[in-house]
Chain A
Amino acid sequence: MRAAHRLRSESGYSLIELLISAAIMVVVTGAIFSLVNPSQGTAQAQPEVADLQQRMRIGSETLFKELVMTGAGTYQGSVTGSLVNFFAPILPRRVGRAFPNNTGATFEPFAITMMYIPNTYSQTTISSPMPNVSAELKVTDQTNCPQGQNLCGFQEGMSVIIFDTSGHFDVFEITEVQDAAAHLQHRGQDLSHPYNAGASVTQIISYSYYWCSPLPGSTPCPGDATASQLRRYNGAFEDIPVVDHVVGLQFTYFGDPNPPVQPRPPAGQANCLYDAAGNYVGPGALPPTDGSLAELPPAILRDGPMCGANLNEFDADLLRIRKVRVSLRVQAALDRLRGVGPLWRNPGTSAGGERLVPDYNVTFDVTPRNLNLAR
């Protein structure tokens, strides 16, 4: 009897029970899979979206802060005022010993070099002339210099600029401070121009920011031909990535329609704006095309007349710059989160759905405060 009872209770499901349970199972598992599949896509894509946005913020903030400060000049001693009164503090190319072929005729739309004087005591003049080939620098002990030092607070490793009123400048690095002997040693880079006593010498911040990539319109990154980065180069040996997965960077320049009138060389000397007799020979006026400013196309910024010399040569129209437009584009790092089409500069292999992260493109204008002081 017990065996018979057990058999009755273990006789299995009826057809109706089986059908109902199978139907419920299909509905429930279907619902779960419909949630799980996009959730996996979302779990892959959203951290990348957050990272992409953060990279954009870092890239745009870095460029904005540097551009806003560009042109800030000396504010202590006998020579003060914006750097644009002496030379062009914005150059549309990479500048430094790694790029010996970049001269005044070079225009790189994906690169910019910016210079400004930071908050520093080290602002003075040279006390004896500096020939082109010189490893030594003697400076004047001005009243603004820190007391008890012969060398105005200059320190080893500091980036320093020397410039005069004729439109010449040179940036170099201090390698040794010989306070007792009252002179500074620098790396021995040949200067682009011999400077007379009285030329300004001061600490400087000078960086070239550029986009490197295997994509068209750029240049391969040094040491990593497959990378797409925003990089910062200091003109000597330091070249570091700032932001990864950058797939576009373009600078557009806007300037004063009126021709530049500074720098004015000493009597008897000529530069890109004045001849030796003091007559103006610089570029003419431009029609305003952007409100009260004029867009400065690449051709204008490399056709001369040229100021400065050698690697620091620059077109006189660069002295007009009052506004810079920056267009920055970053992409998702993973191929499988990028698709094909106009939303992606660098196509990927995404299967679609939640796994699509479009490129992020931001365009912003910057009006460098120190290039617009009297405007």
Chain B
Amino acid sequence: MAQARFNCSRRPGLRGGHGFSLIEVVISMGLLTVVSLGVAQLFAASTRSNLIARGQTSTTALAEQKLEQLRSLTWGFDLDGTGLPVSDTTSNLAVHPPTQAGTGLNPSPTDSLDRNIPGFVDFIDAQGEWVGTGSTPPATAAFVRRWSIQPLPSNPNNTLILQVLVTPLSNEQARIVSAQPRTRMAGDALLVSVKTRKSS
């Protein structure tokens, strides 16, 4: 009678089997772990994408800032006097704030976008603050910013081609290792503008 009561108390669904075996549990847990890891990688990918987007927004803003500084330098005509061209040839934009101990809008060396040439490079930290200039970046630098000033071949006295390159330090190190300074890499910002003398 006791055995009969025991059988009656069992649920019908269990009668055909005896629950999960240890192997089944281990396999299902393994599957769950693999799936979870796949989903976790999506989160990591979204974080990485946001970081890249932030980096590109920052490099573009930094490039734009230098381009606007270059555009603010005098490049016009002496309208109150002789009417001759007037050019800024003394500003040094490689230091912050800019000084009068530089070369202004005089043409830069042709490879000033490819290597660190004093007067045409500065270094920025991760917060976008200027941290130095020179041929080697300080320890706190996160970005290298270089610029080039070249006369337009068809109108060299009055029109300049201004270019600014901002590159993360990690890109710069990869470029040094590969010995290919002109390689453009993801995360770089390169802006180009033209400045022409106008009389009014």
Contact = CB atoms under 8 A, between A and B. Distances in A.
Interface of A: 3, 9-10, 17, 20-21, 24-25, 28, 31-32, 35-36, 38-39, 42-43, 46, 49-50, 53, 56-57, 60, 64, 81-82, 254, 261, 288-293, 295, 322-323, 360-367, 369, 372-375
B12 to A, nearest CB: 15
A373 B54 contact: no
Contact of B73 (A81, A261, A291): A291
Contacts of A367: 68-69, 71-72
Contact of B72 (A56, A254, A360, A363): A254
Report which residue of A10, A35, A36 has the largest number of chain B beta carbons within 10 angstroms of its beta carbon: A35
A364 B47 contact: no
A360 B80 CA distance: 45
Chain B: interface size category: 35 or more
Contacts, number: 124
Given A31-B33, A39-B40, A375 B68 contact: no
B110 interface: no
Contacts of B76: 372-375
A46 B53 CA distance: 12
Interface of B: 3, 18, 22, 25-26, 29, 32-33, 36-37, 39-40, 43-44, 46-47, 50, 53-54, 57-58, 61, 64-65, 68-69, 71-77, 79-80, 86, 88, 90-93, 97-100, 102, 104, 127-128, 198-200
A21 B50 contact: no
Contacts of B77: 374
The 10 closest A-B pairs by CB, nearest first: A291-B91, A291-B98, A365-B68, A367-B72, A42-B43, A367-B71, A28-B29, A323-B72, A374-B76, A375-B76
A290 B88 CA distance: 12
Contact of A364 (B44, B46, B64): B64
Contacts of B200: 81-82, 373-374
Given A24-B26, A28-B33, A362 B104 contact: no
Contacts of B57: 53, 56-57, 362
A46 B99 contact: no
B79 to A, nearest CB: 5
A60 B61 contact: yes
Contact of A53 (B44, B54, B79, B88): B54
